[in-house]
Structure 1
Amino acid sequence: MDELILYTHPMSRGRTARWMLEEVGLPYRTIWLDYGTTMKAPEYLAVNPLGKVPALRHGPAVITECAAICAYLADAFPEAGLAPPPGSAARGAYYRWLFIAAGPVEAAVIDRVLGVTIAAEQQAMVGYGSYDAMIDMLDAHLAANDYAAGDRFSAADIVLGAQIGWGLEFGTLPQRASFAAYAERLLARPAAQRARAIDDAAMTPAG
């Protein structure tokens, strides 16, 4: 089997990719990078010209972007059961929420953090419309569903769950009961706990 290699930093979106790898449950190797140095070095820019993490190498394939990494791994290792069957209604929901998490949710949150104000007349140009509309949509969906694609955990929950967990921890999402219950449900998963422990340990200075 081709080797799986994760390029990451312990305080980055690479945490999401690691969680997915832990859910897949196969061996992989980590290459740790630092902001501004090895992440911008020619060796890594040959992997991701943007100089951003995470990136995943699987044999000849190189995948960047958390949602793409999660979708790739779910398809590459279907025995892990992290994506609904192709052509099913659940697969449609899976794609929908996987890309809502990667697109409108992240964009709305980052705009809010950066102080970007979207005027009412500009909302038609923005994928999420308004921050409040995006929050209400998430709240309604998670109040009615245990998981993003219905009643079963999938890779979409890794991407959406990472967004919501991060948002609750750092205050970029409001404290809604549905968000807290969803985050608690996902963070109780053994793979999520293993992934967090690996990255937290990498943040601790030796000695």
Structure 2
Amino acid sequence: MKKEFLKFSAAALLALMLVPQVQAASVSVTMTQTNVDEFLPDGLDYLSVTISDGLDGAIDFSVEILSLLTDLNAGSDFGIQEFTLNLGNSAASVADFLVPSGWFAREFVPAGTFNGFGDFDIHLKGTDSTRQQPLEFSIVDVVGDTVFDYVSSLSTGSAAEGNVLFAARLAGFELDLEALAQSELGIQFEGEIDLPTTGKFGGSTSVVPLPPAVALSLSAMAMLGLTGLRRRKLLSK
């Protein structure tokens, strides 16, 4: 009985050793710069961009407005209306972008489209009624791309706010001045204030790799299950 059990244990261990580890690469970039510095100073975490390996070789993006901004806005229409990025070392083109309904992807048009943050390769844009939180899209049908291709180059050209990896325009601002004063920003205003209803945000040049997802295959798990079952049978004899 002992020999038979050891055979099954060895088979299970071998199965685990032979199973390829599926490591889904993922990186994150925090957007910390704004062009509405009077109200929202640079250096704070306003949005995050997470890029991950998707199914069938796709590259998935998730752009999320962080709590610092959502807590300061009471507007129901508040969200992401535009987003820009560079293709870096990727072979992708505009035709490879899958974007939300009501959005489109196009080659970036310079001349101040994202004043302050420079020029990019790709410009994604929605409408007033299709603002997103979070904004999620994918790049498909490009063989050999990795998540690192999309964080390999900064914007180009004149950039008063600095050249960055990504930029986004948020719209539908309804800044709560009381919340603004009580927040970590501690900003207070006197008299009549012309509050912004939109703002542009730039992505930090710091890229943070996220821990890989490591999965066991069903075959290895099945082998372990069979081993456990066989062991119980052997011990019951």
> What is the TM-score of this pair, normalised by structure 1?
0.29
Please identify which structure carries the higher strand content.
2
Structure with higher RCO (Cα < 8 A, 6+ apart): 2
Q: In terms of Rg, which structure is larger? A: 2
In terms of fraction of residues, the more helix-rich structure is 1
